[in-house]
Amino acid sequence: MIETRRPAYMDGKPKGLLIDGQSVPALSGATFQSFSPSTGELVAELALADAQDVDRAVRAARAAFDGPWSRFKPAERQAVLLRLAELVDAECDDLALLDCIEMGRPITAARGLRGMLQRSLRHFAGAATSLHGQTLSNSFPVDLLSYTLREPIGVVGAIIPWNGPLFSAAWKVGPVLATGCTIVLKPAEDASLSPLRFAELCLEAGVPPGVVNVVTGAGATGAAIAEHPDVDKIAFTGSCETGQRIIAASAGSVKRVTMELGGKSPNIIFADADLDLATPAAAMGVFNNSGQVCAAGTRLFVQRPVYDEMIERIAAFTAGLKIGPSLDPETVIGPLVSAKQFARVSSYLDLGPQEGARLVAGGARVTGEGFDKGHWVAPTIFADVRDDMRIAREEIFGPVSCIMPFDDFDEVIGRANATRFGLAGGVWTRDIGKAMNAVRRIRAGSIWVNHYFAMDPSVPFGGYKMSGFGREGGSEHVEAYLQTKGVWIRS
Ligand code: ADP
């Protein structure tokens, strides 16, 4: 049954910026609107932050960093994170609904993130009491004891995308709370509500005002964060082009920067693979979240002996995927996030056949009753794709799979690596030696063998090459919010 309930947070009132624990309008009074990608309805009116609002938020974050928050003991930060995990869990259905309504993630998939959110917040809670420096034996001629202190970096500017708003907010705020930093978080303009509500829950959990601030707005708001001289670190997730602009803007004050950018990830199916296992993963490795996933396995390399069979299998699997409104629990393929994204993906649907790719499935907008007001694209499979085609080289960020045949191991590894990106990759084979060899040779930050796409707060995720630098997940995630002080004491 289609979900008809609306979260209490969607009360029709304009949403302010969250600065120093208060919901406030933009100083200019400017607002913007967000719309449902399923129905085109107005979802919310939101304050549009400009550079003066960002400055207010950064000042609040700095005051909290220097003030009350700096006196919180690790165990107190841990308690706050555990309380936050409870509050988020109690409201998880509504938070998922916010993402579902505002950015179009199908409700069953949105609610499926519950476990990951809990694991993440509890992981960060654990990290809060596990921070430690080292004592170091030195050979300085005078007897001096040397050790390191790991200290919070300070004010973090976090800029997140629209494709996983709640999860992205949690993965930026979690390490901030674990380490004693403070944050100015900018959600994407198409998906602000769940990050805003998440930040309110931080306050309810006992995080002092000013530690977690949210400024809503578009690219200019993000740029104001990247340029602000009193922001110590930028944590960005988004497109490569925007990441490059942020790196340039952050140079003015030599900010620490971590970047999780796009990808064009290879998913390699060898002829000896378990094809029953590989088929759904090959399809959903691209079509999950309507292809709006940075690690999507969009370049599907299939070894020649099983090439035709795999195309048939994937096409048959794809034909069974239910396309529909995000609020329908049966829906697997929801709409694209916006008219802008729809136009972008559509241009690649036109481009594929022009470049000589063979259309096997999809290839067009979904039309008919119930689809007239949103932005659905049918899951699309192009076969016989060549490496030099733009559809094989550029990140489409839509439900478009490019299937390519290959003959031997060295050839496919070379082709898999012939990209400026390096976010992720998949390998399907029953031969453990071949799998491990491929794992070593594929230049990407995450590799899945006989699986596609898994994430966990304990395991690092991030890019090689132009897919970025820095890791989220694993110990490196929290490390990126700390800096090291070397201390010398005459003994
Ligand atoms: P998309 O084009 O798919 O929206 P982006 O990488 O541009 O992806 O967006 C990711 C986030 O970066 C969003 O929150 C967006 O508002 C923000 N953003 C866009 N342009 C800039 C910019 N020049 N500086 C900082 N942030 C930006």
| Distance between Cα 225 and ligand 1 center (Å) | 12
Q: Please check whether residue 2 lies inside any domain of the structure.
A: no
Task: Determine the Cα angle at 349 with ends 348 and 352, to 5°.
Answer: 80
**197 and 312 housed in the same domain:** no
The whole-angstrom separation of Cα 260 and Cα 472 is: 8
The whole-angstrom separation of Cα 461 and Cα 59 is: 31
Neighbours of 302 (CB within 10 A): 28
The whole-angstrom separation of Cα 51 and Cα 160 is: 18
**257 and 270 housed in the same domain:** no
What would the pLDDT profile of 68-86 be if each residue is shown by its tens digit? 999 999 999 999 999 999 9
Q: Please check whether residue 250 lies inside any domain of the structure.
A: yes
**291 and 417 housed in the same domain:** yes
Q: Work out the mean pLDDT of the chain and round it to a whole number.
A: 97
Q: What is the pLDDT of residue 93?
A: 96
What would the pLDDT profile of 122-151 be if each residue is shown by its tens digit? 999 999 999 999 999 999 999 999 999 999
Specify the residue with its C-alpha closest to ligand 1, atom 19: 219
| Distance between Cα 169 and ligand 1 center (Å) | 15
Q: Please check whether residue 7 lies inside any domain of the structure.
A: no
**171 and 93 housed in the same domain:** yes
Q: Please check whether residue 145 lies inside any domain of the structure.
A: yes
The whole-angstrom separation of Cα 224 and Cα 285 is: 35
What would the pLDDT profile of 216-247 be if each residue is shown by its tens digit? 999 999 999 999 999 999 999 999 999 999 99
Q: What is the pLDDT of residue 205?
A: 98
**307 and 222 housed in the same domain:** no
| Catalytic hit among 3, 91, 260, 395 | 260
| Catalytic hit among 181, 240, 294, 402 | 294
476 as an active site residue: the answer is no
| Distance between Cα 31 and ligand 1 center (Å) | 18
The pLDDT-based confidence of 384 (bands split at 50, 70, 90) is very high
369 as an active site residue: the answer is no
Q: What is the pLDDT of residue 1?
A: 87
The whole-angstrom separation of Cα 191 and Cα 262 is: 18
pLDDT of 370 above 90: no
Query: What's the first-to-final CA gap in the chain, in angstroms?
Result: 72
The pLDDT-based confidence of 278 (bands split at 50, 70, 90) is very high
pLDDT of 24 above 90: yes
Q: What is the pLDDT of residue 325?
A: 94
Q: How many structural domains does the chain have?
A: 2
**174 and 288 housed in the same domain:** no
**477 and 343 housed in the same domain:** no
Neighbours of 108 (CB within 10 A): 16
**H or E stretch including 381?**
strand 380-383
In this prediction, residues 78-96 reach a mean pLDDT of 98
What phi and psi values does residue 351 have, to the nearest 5 degrees? -70, -40
Q: What is the pLDDT of residue 280?
A: 98
**246 and 283 housed in the same domain:** no
Q: Please check whether residue 277 lies inside any domain of the structure.
A: yes
In this prediction, residues 153-178 reach a mean pLDDT of 98
Q: Please check whether residue 181 lies inside any domain of the structure.
A: yes
What would the pLDDT profile of 30-54 be if each residue is shown by its tens digit? 999 999 999 999 999 999 999 999 9
pLDDT of 432 above 90: yes
Is residue 245 within 6 Å of ligand 1 at its C-beta?
Answer: yes
Q: Please check whether residue 6 lies inside any domain of the structure.
A: no
Neighbours of 405 (CB within 10 A): 18
In this prediction, residues 341-365 reach a mean pLDDT of 97
Q: Please check whether residue 182 lies inside any domain of the structure.
A: yes
The whole-angstrom separation of Cα 168 and Cα 408 is: 38
| Distance between Cα 359 and ligand 1 center (Å) | 32
CATH number at residue 409: 3.40.309.10
Q: Domain of 447? A: 266-456
**245 and 210 housed in the same domain:** yes
Which atom of ligand 1 is nearest the CA belonging to 187? 14
CATH number at residue 247: 3.40.605.10
Neighbouring residues of 358: CB distance < 8 A, sequence distance ≥ 6: 382, 383, 384
Is residue 449 within 6 Å of ligand 1 at its C-beta?
Answer: no
Q: What is the pLDDT of residue 193?
A: 98
**58 and 84 housed in the same domain:** yes
The whole-angstrom separation of Cα 490 and Cα 414 is: 55
In this prediction, residues 433-444 reach a mean pLDDT of 98
The whole-angstrom separation of Cα 359 and Cα 353 is: 7
**248 and 310 housed in the same domain:** no
The whole-angstrom separation of Cα 170 and Cα 167 is: 5
At position 170, the amino acid (one-letter code) is A
**148 and 190 housed in the same domain:** yes
pTM of the model: 0.97
